[in-house]
Amino acid sequence: MTDKPRRTQRERVGESSRRLAEAAIALIAEQGYTATTAQEIGLRAGYSRDMVRVRFGTKEALLDTILTSQYESRLDAADDPSESGLERVLGRIARMRRFAEEDGQLLRAMLVLNFEAAQGDDPLRARIRRWLDHFLGGVADAVRTGQSDASIAAELDADTQAREFLSTAIGYSYFWIVEPDFDLPAELTRWAERLEARLRSPTSAHVD
């Protein structure tokens, strides 16, 4: 019988980091961000109480990694240069809908993290605020692109539309957190249809 090859240090670090991230996501989805401690995360992942400190230093550093690699990158992917501005705006809703359909537990956990961290004074609050400002700017840029390519009505104010977009997304997200029976993907689909009708320039072609 051939002995199983020993894993490298890099492989062991990668596995422990993945398991810690999965444990953090599950715990936050179950009980919230504030109630989840670094010690609980380590134990849920099958390690010692100190494993989060060993791998990441703090709970916040672990969650920062999760936010960057698994949450924000999925909601705020780079726009396709071949798409119209209207398609870019609607694409942001489509990405959120796919996220909810494909990985609802992760999305729910990250939304809980965002809402709870916004009330505190730790570095995550400032970090989340910076990302929201970045996302808001991306929506406004997409609207302006749509006005340049005539897919979005020229008379609309891009900054106002971006703020309304972000406020609506946050509202749907919050309601999904507090109301388990709320069908987020279905509501996002209906929102996209209403938004398209409101933004569309009378001279634009239909977006597939």
Q: How far apart are CA 10 and CA 12, in angstroms?
A: 5
- Structural domains of the chain ordered from first start: 60-199 (1.10.357.10)
Closest CA to 77 of 129, 142, 123: 142
Residue 1 has a pLDDT of 45
Q: Is residue 92 scored above 90 in pLDDT?
A: yes
Average pLDDT over residues 25-33: 89
Are 87 and 151 a contacting pair, CB within 8 Å?
A: yes
Q: How far apart are CA 159 and CA 165, in angstroms?
A: 10
Alpha helices in the chain (DSSP H): 9-31, 38-44, 51-56, 59-66, 73-75, 85-102, 104-117, 123-148, 158-178, 184-199
**pLDDT (tens digit, 9 = 90+) per residue, 156-167?**
999 999 999 999
Which pTM does this prediction carry? 0.83
Residue 5 has a pLDDT of 66
Residue 69 has a pLDDT of 86
- For residue 148, name the pLDDT band (cuts at 50, 70, 90): very high
Handedness of CA 136, 140, 141, 142 (dihedral sign): positive
